[in-house]
Amino acid sequence: MSKSAISVSVFIATSLDGFIARPDGDVSWLDDYEPMGKGEDGGYGELFNAVDSMVMGRGTFEKVLTFDWSYGTKPITVMSKSLTEVPEKLKGSVRIVALSPLELLEKMEAEGCRHIYLDGGQVIQSFLREGLVDDMTLTVIPVLLGQGIPLFGHLEGDIKLNLLEARSWENGFTQSKYQVVK
Amino acid sequence: MSKSAISVSVFIATSLDGFIARPDGDVSWLDDYEPMGKGEDGGYGELFNAVDSMVMGRGTFEKVLTFDWSYGTKPITVMSKSLTEVPEKLKGSVRIVALSPLELLEKMEAEGCRHIYLDGGQVIQSFLREGLVDDMTLTVIPVLLGQGIPLFGHLEGDIKLNLLEARSWENGFTQSKYQVVK
């Protein structure tokens, strides 16, 4: 079975040195910045509206549970081999699966899913290693954190990318959208 | 003594995952790309003409020794505690010093130097940790290498940056110039 019918998008922010969070998962450093502009979300809403579903790992899920829940309107799949219980208030919109990336995509494709938004460092790395990411939109925040949870990890070989779009904002954010070359 | 009279610029290329070279120092992956454009060097020549001198570490120096020498017209200082001998053909244009970043800047300022171009991961990291970098121009190559020599390293605290300029080219390179906030 090919995974060609399901499209996998990454949309994430990192520090200039490639961290998505501080070592303890803290992302409050993102709050130090002015908005990109009035009503400007850097394309997040457009992607969120376009996808059928979100997929994230345990770490990201546990982090977003501490926020006001902002993923409301899309079903969420949490990839975890240790979590089993979905919090009561999220039953119906969140499920937990213990599958490999390819197994999950096959399952979701069979369920009719055509486009997913992938969030979280470990999950993104595992999909990248298996060649299952289609495009990545990276927003780079103008700070060096010097330590933290990295977006990217070890790969056995190069992954080539096509730059689709690059832009920047007055607040110092830059954003690049890449297509992963298969 | 303040270091305010000497300006320190970084100009370097990295993979999207932040590596300046493969684990063995290989940078031939940079050769896989089309030029940025006819006569376009991404601002390298402009910076090179503006600086009085180059400063690099042993690793970068030993790497550039394997190339056709392209740093010809500016004096070079190599920071190394292990190297002592300058190759015969480079005597007169290259010197080796075993100084800290601040000691080196004080020495070079006393020599009349006003602007240096800093090259190489370890040296850039050590200057950043001591707050001695003024601006950084990073060109991001559209590839994930998955392993290699990182540009950035551990920091004890955040380093904030001001985005001065961002641009991209048809070959997929993006470039951001930052001022380091002191």
Report pLDDT digits (tens) over A117-158.
999 999 999 999 999 999 999 999 999 999 999 999 999 999
> Can you tell me whether residue B46 is helix, strand or coil?
helix
Q: For A39-56, write each residue's pLDDT tens digit.
A: 899 999 999 999 999 999
Which amino acid would we find at residue B181? V
Pairing between β-strand A135-141 and β-strand A174-180 as defined by DSSP bridges: antiparallel
Please give the Cα distance from B64 to B21 (Å, whole number).
Answer: 12
Average pLDDT over residues A53-76: 83
Which chain A positions have a beta carbon within 8 Å of B161's beta carbon? 16, 142-144, 172
Please give the Cα distance from A73 to A88 (Å, whole number).
Answer: 17
**Sole residue written with tokens 């009719």:** A112
Q: How far is A9 from chain B (nearest CA, A)?
A: 16
Q: For A163-181, write each residue's pLDDT tens digit.
A: 999 999 999 999 999 999 9
Q: Would you state the pLDDT for residue B69?
A: 63
Q: Would you state the pLDDT for residue A166?
A: 98
Please give the Cα distance from A68 to A65 (Å, whole number).
Answer: 7
Contact between B92 and B69 under an 8 Å Cβ cutoff? The reply is no
Which chain A positions have a beta carbon within 8 Å of B145's beta carbon? 155, 158
Which chain A positions have a beta carbon within 8 Å of B175's beta carbon? none
Kindly report the CA angle at B124 between B54 and A19, in degrees rounded to 5? 150
Q: Would you state the pLDDT for residue B31?
A: 92
Of B145, B154, B174, the CB nearest to A176: B174
Q: What is the ipTM of this complex?
A: 0.94
Q: Would you state the pLDDT for residue B70?
A: 60
With CA atoms as reference, the chain A residue closest to B164 would be A172
Q: Would you state the pLDDT for residue A1?
A: 43
Average pLDDT over residues A105-115: 96
Please give the Cα distance from A77 to A93 (Å, whole number).
Answer: 9
Contact between B116 and B7 under an 8 Å Cβ cutoff? The reply is yes
Q: For A18-44, write each residue's pLDDT tens digit.
A: 999 999 999 999 999 998 988 899 999
Which chain A positions have a beta carbon within 8 Å of B21's beta carbon? none
pLDDT exceeds cutoff 80 at A72: no
Q: Would you state the pLDDT for residue A5?
A: 85
Digitized pLDDT (tens) for each residue of chain B, 182 residues in all: 445 689 999 999 999 999 999 999 999 999 999 989 888 999 999 999 999 999 999 999 988 888 766 656 789 999 999 988 888 888 888 999 999 999 999 999 999 999 999 999 999 999 999 999 999 999 999 999 999 999 999 999 999 999 999 999 999 999 999 999 98
Which of A163, A165, A181 should one mutate to test binding to chain B, selecting the residue with the greatest count of B CBs within 10 A? Answer: A163
Mean of per-residue pLDDT scores for chain A: 92
pLDDT exceeds cutoff 70 at A69: no
Q: Would you state the pLDDT for residue A68?
A: 67
Of A138, A162, A172, the CB nearest to B163: A172
Tell me whether B160 touches chain A (CB under 8 Å). yes
Please give the Cα distance from B86 to B12 (Å, whole number).
Answer: 24
Q: Would you state the pLDDT for residue A66?
A: 82
Which chain B positions have a beta carbon within 8 Å of A175's beta carbon? none
Q: Would you state the pLDDT for residue A168?
A: 97
